[in-house]
Amino acid sequence: MKPKVLVRHSLPQAALDELRANFEETEDPEQAEGVVGFLSTSLDLGRMPRLRAVATVSAGYDNYDLPELTRRRIALMNCADALTETTADLAFALMLASARRVAELDALVRSGGWKPGAGSELYGLDVHGKTLGVVGYGRIGSAIARRGKGFGMEVLYTSRRPKETPGRVVLDELLRRSDFVCLAVPLTPDTDRLIGSRELGLMKPTGILVNIARGRVVDESALVEALRRQTIRAAGLDVYEEEPLSPTSPLIGMPNVVLLPHIGSATQETRDAMALASVRNLISCLVHGEPRNVVNSEALE
Ligand code: DGY
């Protein structure tokens, strides 16, 4: 008999085909041995006595109750490898858009506000040749750094572990020296509100903050204050403390902020690859008994 799985995320055809070749789909949580989930998935584990594995179509998994999954010996598997380059592309898009004021000037053209000539009121800031500070030098952080080097940037980074790549500094030094501060750390108790008013105060007045990590890595009201007082120049955000961002958020009225709806990995190719990788994670665990990409390996002990 095929193991039963509950699918909590829409899957493209190729992923569905592999899923159906290996599993029986169920809508009944009590029957489910596996789950395919996403960042918005919440599971009532008390009602899932047969659950052994969860495959999330995401790199991040802060929405899951990891200690409880581990306690119940349920493996949680992510698909971080599939989205590195795409998320790094988006970080760069936010850097370029914030520095060159792409969204603000697009709105100006659309509103008929473009006057002949581009006066200094339309000027942005250079990206090439500047200093890029990457906070968190994991898969995505190092992919952002590679792009920075392609733009002739000096790259600084923070990392818990020493690396061979030069440029590792402590956070305060990174904040002081960087023209662009790009956040690429997972949300953990250590990174919760890592960037608050003190840290924003260390940034250059021309500094630009880019967040493609998680909203809670930044104290959002401190960021609003820094942007309002122009103690930093701009921000490019893909993630927020509360998602979706409230229409009453002060960020919405700020011209010096580029706002995206948490789309770091959202390209057709990458989301398809993530879905397939997640189904294969579930197969590795529930069909072959060889789990991979498990983020709570203690659950398997
Ligand atoms: C992830 O997979 O964690 C990303 O945030 C999705 O864009």
Region 281-296 average pLDDT: 97
Residue of 87, 185, 187, 272 to mutate, ligand 1, most atoms within 8 A of C-beta: 87
H-helix or E-strand spanning residue 199: helix 197-202
pLDDT in tens, 152-190: 999 999 999 988 999 999 999 999 999 999 999 999 999
Residue 117: its pLDDT value, please? Answer: 82
Structure confidence at residue 55 as a pLDDT band (50, 70, 90): very high
Per residue in 225-250, is it b (16+ CB within 10 Å) or e — as a string? ebbeeebbbbbbbbbbbeeebeeebe
Does the predicted TM-score (pTM) go above 0.85?
yes
| CA angle, residues 189, 37, 57, in degrees to nearest 5 | 80
- Please tell me if the CB atom of residue 274 comes closer than 6 angstroms to any atom of ligand 1: no
